[in-house]
Amino acid sequence: MALSIADGTLLNNGVAMPWLGIGTWQAAAGRETEQSVAWALELGYRHVDTAALYANEADVGRALRASGIPRDEVFVTTKVWNEDLRQRRVREAFDLSLNKLGLERVDLYLVHWPVPGAYLEAWKVLEELLAEGRTRAIGVSNFLVPQLETLLAKARIAPAVNQVEWHPWLQQPALVEFCRQHGIVFQAWSPLMQGRVGEEPELVRIARGHGKSPAQVAIRWGLQRQVVMIPKSVKHARIAENAGVFDFELTADEVAAIDRCDRGQRLGADPNDFHF
Ligand code: NDP
């Protein structure tokens, strides 16, 4: 269990990944991303999630350099986008991402979506990049059980992480269990329900009892469920708020009450309905 913002879980190859990171999807390229990542690093975050798709890798890289924090103290994830999978140019996409980030390696490189007919070939390139030491770990995103089974049957190296939509309204227990059984760390995207945490009465009720916010309760619940959480904010007060989750603990009854909020409701794209 995470006791502080620097605490992490171990991936299947022994690399440590902090339980809490900052997300950057929809953080605008330029000042907005650079400033939010800089604030996060100042506030103690040591894990940043970006992607080629977000068009803000250069800004993430600038914030990392300006922070003066040693490179090996920050966990950086980026992802290869669908078009590059389809065009069989994963290595080129990786080089471009590293270049934009201004880094010699990333900590985690993810296949962003399980593009049918393309992700197995892409995975071989990720295995090569890992062997070359240009990424410290490789993983996937938005993979469901059938796609994970297909990948595991062919892969030389199993994915270290699966980053998927996960929050009180979409808990995907079978997928969580599958990942756990195969040593794949489960990472939540949209852990704050894209800002809708205040619409869930259980989160509001439990938050009141702890003198915390619904966002803090949602993040704390994920941490207690052993899920890596990457809430996104571009506002200083919220970046700080989202990190204020290590000074309280939910009871087993509170965790169970949030578990019961599952409605199987996606707020983002459905990996089964792949058309982008
Ligand atoms: P989140 O669930 O993290 O919610 C972000 C939204 O919540 C923003 O509108 C933000 O607004 C708002 N917010 C932030 N903090 C608070 C707070 N304390 N109280 C109330 N509202 C708050 O959604 P994301 O979809 O951004 O997911 C998180 C990260 O996961 C992404 O940024 C990205 O890095 C990753 N991701 C990965 C995907 C994938 O396919 N692999 C898909 C989607 C996301 P503001 O910024 O104005 O504070």
CATH number for the domain harbouring residue 130: 3.20.20.100
Tell the residue nearest (CA) to atom 20 of ligand 1. Answer: 195
276 within a domain of the structure (yes/no): no
Count the Cβ atoms, other than its own, within 10 Å of residue 174. Answer: 10
C-beta 238 within 6 A of ligand 1 = yes
| 260, burial (CB in 10 Å: exposed 0-12, middle 13-18, buried 19+) | exposed
153-201 pLDDT per residue, tens? 999 999 999 999 999 999 999 999 999 999 999 999 999 999 999 999 9
43 within a domain of the structure (yes/no): yes
Paired tokens of 144? 């469901």
pLDDT at 275: 66
C-beta 47 within 6 A of ligand 1 = no
| 229, burial (CB in 10 Å: exposed 0-12, middle 13-18, buried 19+) | buried
pLDDT at 273: 79
Residues tagged active-site: 54
264 within a domain of the structure (yes/no): no
C-beta 232 within 6 A of ligand 1 = yes
What is the mean predicted confidence (pLDDT) over 208-226?
98
C-beta 116 within 6 A of ligand 1 = no
The pLDDT confidence band at residue 276, using thresholds 50, 70 and 90, is low
- 225 Cα to the center of ligand 1, angstroms: 19
For 1-10, 33-42, 125-134, which range has the lowest pLDDT when averaged over its residues?
1-10
3 within a domain of the structure (yes/no): no
Count the Cβ atoms, other than its own, within 10 Å of residue 66. Answer: 12
Tell the residue nearest (CA) to atom 5 of ligand 1. Answer: 194
2 within a domain of the structure (yes/no): no
268 within a domain of the structure (yes/no): no
186 within a domain of the structure (yes/no): yes
> What atom of ligand 1 comes closest to residue 188's alpha carbon?
30
Computed over every residue of the chain, the mean pLDDT equals: 97
Domain limits for position 32: 8-259
- 195 Cα to the center of ligand 1, angstroms: 7
Structural domains in the chain (count): 1
At 238, phi and psi to the nearest 5?
A: -75, -35
168 within a domain of the structure (yes/no): yes
